[in-house]
């Protein structure tokens, strides 16, 4: 099985690679369109802002490449948000492969933005990506923008209101939290993705 990490300029790439290595998978970092098309699984990691993330994908001429993929694709953190149609962050048009919009968390005296730290997961549907995931399992988040709950939501979480922690549409999947920093739960979900 071949797995590639799209070189979208995210700062969590090293930790994602290490998490995959712990599962016995070597995943090269690449911006080569043919290499991405030929892979069995594609992971789009990312930490940063939507505008620069999409600018990087345009610069590398990878926008249409990613949109046309038919194998399982996983977006992580910003990578998940880039799979959506639009982000309020910088009023950015994203890849549009998952019919969702990304919105900023409302500022509050009760909650800090960004949402940073461990939070509980609440699966909403049965899906192979969620095998052995339990209600109330914990995952590690760092984000100021979130995807509202919708038909694409596989797992919800709550931070002053419900938001999507895991989304999917067709062969495209996203995890808002960092599986590579979410201990056994993150490892389990990465393994499930590799088995799709």
| Selected catalytic residue, list 77, 84, 89, 143 | 77
| DSSP character string of 146-166 | EPPP-TTEEEEEESSSEEEEE
| Selected catalytic residue, list 94, 107, 178, 195 | 178
Active-site annotation holds for 77: yes
Active-site annotation holds for 61: no
Over 70-120, what HEC string results? Answer: CCCEEEECHHHHHCEEEECCCCEECCCCEEEEEEECCCCCCCCCCEEEEEE
| Selected catalytic residue, list 84, 115, 173, 180 | 180
Cβ atoms of 169 and 105 closer than 8 Å: no
Neighbouring CB atoms inside 10 A of 156's CB total 17
CA 86, 48, 183: angle at the middle one, nearest 5?
A: 105
User: Tokens 């994602």 appear where?
Assistant: 16
Catalogue the active-site residues: 77, 178, 180
């Amino acid at each position: 099985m071949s797995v590639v990490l799209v070189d979208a300029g995210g700062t969590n790439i090293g930790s994602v690679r290490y998490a995959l290595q712990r599962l016995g998978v070597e995943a090269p970092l690449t911006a080569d369109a043919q290499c991405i098309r030929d892979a069995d699984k594609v992971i789009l990691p990312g930490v940063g802002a939507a505008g620069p993330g999409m600018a990087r994908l345009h610069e590398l001429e990878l926008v249409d490449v990613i949109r046309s993929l038919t194998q399982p694709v996983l977006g992580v953190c910003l990578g998940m948000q880039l799979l959506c149609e639009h982000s309020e962050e910088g009023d950015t048009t994203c890849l549009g492969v998952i019919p969702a919009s990304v919105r900023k968390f409302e500022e509050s005296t009760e909650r800090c933005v960004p949402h940073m730290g461990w939070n509980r997961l609440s699966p909403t549907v049965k899906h192979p990506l969620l095998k052995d995931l339990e209600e109330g399992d914990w995952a590690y988040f760092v984000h100021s923008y979130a995807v509202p709950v919708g038909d694409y939501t596989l797992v919800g979480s709550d931070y002053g209101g419900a938001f999507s922690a895991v989304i999917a549409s067709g062969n495209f999947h996203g995890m808002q939290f960092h599986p590579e920093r979410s201990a056994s739960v993150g490892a389990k979900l990465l393994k499930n993705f590799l088995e799709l």
